[in-house]
Amino acid sequence: MSIFGDIMSAIFGRSASAAPSTSPPSSSAPSSPAKPTASPSQSGTTTREGPAPEGPKVEWSAPVDVAAVLDGLAKQNKQKLNWRTSIVDLMKLLDLDSGQAARKKLAAELHYSGDTKDSAKMNVWLHKQVMIKLAANGGKVPDDLKH
């Protein structure tokens, strides 16, 4: 799975488990439009928004509130992590490898064209792009995190 796919799965999967459905799976469709899941032939493909996450597909009837999920995780975490500005802290909060090699791989996945040796500049770009990609893939992300 791609690193961005891991990030999406960690956030969107926690959202699905944090809000269990009260209706049985065979119930009628929700009143709000549900985000469609990929068919088996589309599993693991790359979309124009970025790599699609592999593994189990999760349906949700409303956009996933990324900030609420991450704030909830931050409250439970013993470390004080600033996920709102730091890609390293965001990855740590999601229990993902936040090392330089992992961030360089994420940069390659998201088509970073800058100098990966300038980690400060790359990290700022990565954080912004991850928030933009989360929003493009069904996440509700505050505007200040996408700029």
Map out the domains of the chain as residue ranges. 3-19+35-145
Model confidence over 35-86: pLDDT tens digits?
A: 434 333 333 444 444 444 444 444 555 689 999 999 999 999 999 999 999 9
Whether the per-residue pLDDT at 109 is higher than 70: the answer is yes
Mean pLDDT along residues 2-9: 96
In eight-state DSSP terms, residue 21 is -
Residue whose tokens read 């992992």: 102
Q: Do the Cβ atoms of 44 and 52 come closer than 8 Å?
A: yes
Other CB atoms within 10 Å distance of the CB of residue 29: 8
pTM: 0.70
- The angle formed by the CA atoms of residues 25, 27 and 32, to the nearest 5 degrees, is 100
